[in-house]
């Protein structure tokens, strides 16, 4: 029988992180099969886990959504926050976003109920690509492109090398494998440019395509098979990045 640490089992439901799960366990708010849980406890797949007397484990299908987030929507599961992504989508099952796309930005973001997949996608060291189209307030020149590609000093670090293609005088396409907080906006600002519009059009193998703004779709079987293959050997131990 395969056993799993209780905090990991809780985090994989998407209820909270492992660290927060440990805090709940310490406070006596977690029960396994009706008994108060203990730190380090291991559970079986069929065990009943309740937090504050609410059952959080049940047999359910994994959900993987691609959503075209409009500007003004906040990527949080906190339904008390106005215009939160969960309330906006109003999906019938509990889901949560993988990473973030800041409020002024739009485009592709994933949502799921599979807590195990999240960190594998987010880790910068796993080199998973994210592609954006960016419009800025000034004319783009070759110096700007080279500096962006080579790395820019922001947040007390230098960004990793990336790929950029100029689309027109004020618009470029950028492919990152990193996800620092508001990274593209900060990079542009450091070079004297301001972002007017930012749209994510691809994460790994999944493209935004013709998905309409404010709408979502399920991953195709082919997309899911490919993404699971890409993250098969991905590390899960770094601090999560904000995208």
Please indicate whether residue 93 is annotated as part of the active site.
Answer: no
Second-level CATH architecture of 129-203? 2-Layer Sandwich (3.30)
Q: Phi/psi of residue 95, each to 5°?
A: -135, 165
* Lowest-confidence segment of 65-79, 105-119, 183-197 by average pLDDT: 105-119
Residue 226's Cβ-side half-sphere holds a number of Cα atoms within 13 Å equal to: 11
- Among 93, 102, 116, 137, the one annotated catalytic: 102
- Residue in 63, 54, 118 with CA at minimum distance from that of residue 94: 63
Tokens matching residue 227:
């993404």
Q: How far apart are CA 179 and CA 105, in angstroms?
A: 14
Paired with 112 in beta bridges are: 64, 96
Stretch 48-65: mean pLDDT: 84
Per-residue confidence (pLDDT) for residue 131, from 0 to 100: 97
- Lowest average pLDDT, out of 22-36, 81-95, 110-124, 204-218, goes to 110-124
At residue 85 the predicted structure's pLDDT band, cuts being 50, 70 and 90, is very high
Confidence of residue 3 (pLDDT cuts 50, 70, 90): confident
C-alpha span between 133 and 198 (Å, rounded): 6
Cα-based angle 229, 224, 115 (whole degrees, multiple of 5): 85
CATH number for 4-55: choose from 3.10.129.10, 3.20.10.10, 3.10.150.10, 3.10.290.10: 3.10.290.10
Cα(99)–Cα(89) distance, rounded to whole angstroms?
16
- Residue 64: its pLDDT value, please? 94
Whether 35 shows a pLDDT value over 50: the answer reads: yes
Residue 28: which pLDDT band, with cuts at 50, 70 and 90? Answer: very high
What element of type H or E holds 224?
Answer: helix 221-230
Of 56-60, 87-91, 164-168, 235-239, the least confident: 235-239
Separation CA 107–CA 116 (nearest Å): 23
Q: Which of the pair, 150 or 79, is modelled with greater confidence?
A: 150
Q: What secondary structure letter does DSSP report for 16? A: S
Q: Which residue has the tokens 């019938």?
A: 92
CATH topology identical between 4-55 and 129-203: no
Tens-digit pLDDT profile for residues 157-193: 999 999 999 999 999 999 999 889 999 999 999 999 9
Identify the CA nearest to 47 among candidates 78, 10, 75, 84.
10
Domain range 64-124+206-230, CATH architecture: 2-Layer Sandwich (3.30)
Give the pLDDT score at 234: 66
Greater confidence, 47 or 155?
A: 155
Tell me the domain boundaries of the chain: 4-55, 64-124+206-230, 129-203
Higher-pLDDT residue of 114 and 236 is 114
């Amino acid at each position: 029988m395969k056993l799993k640490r209780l905090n990991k089992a809780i985090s994989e439901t998407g209820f909270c992180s492992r660290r927060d799960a440990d805090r709940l366990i310490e406070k006596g708010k977690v029960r396994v099969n009706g008994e108060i849980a203990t730190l380090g406890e291991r559970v079986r797949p069929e065990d009943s886990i309740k937090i504050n007397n609410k059952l959080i484990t049940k047999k359910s299908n994994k959900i993987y959504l691609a959503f075209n987030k409009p500007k003004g929507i906040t990527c949080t599961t906190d339904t008390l926050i106005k215009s939160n992504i969960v309330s906006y989508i109003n999906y019938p099952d509990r889901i949560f976003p993988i990473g973030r796309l800041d409020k002024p930005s739009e485009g592709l973001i994933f949502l799921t109920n599979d807590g195990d997949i999240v960190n594998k996608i987010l880790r910068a060291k796993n080199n998973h690509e994210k592609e954006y189209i960016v419009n800025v307030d000034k004319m783009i020149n070759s110096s700007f492109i080279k500096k962006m590609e080579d790395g820019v000093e922001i947040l007390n670090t230098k960004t990793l090398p990336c790929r950029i293609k100029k689309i027109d005088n004020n618009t470029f396409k950028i492919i990152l494998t990193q996800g620092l907080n508001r990274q593209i906006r900060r990079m542009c600002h450091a070079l004297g440019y301001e972002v007017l519009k930012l749209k994510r059009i691809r994460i790994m193998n999944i493209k935004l395509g013709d998905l309409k703004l404010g709408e979502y779709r399920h991953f195709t079987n082919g997309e899911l098979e490919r993404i699971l293959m890409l993250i098969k050997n991905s590390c899960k131990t770094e601090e999560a990045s904000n995208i």
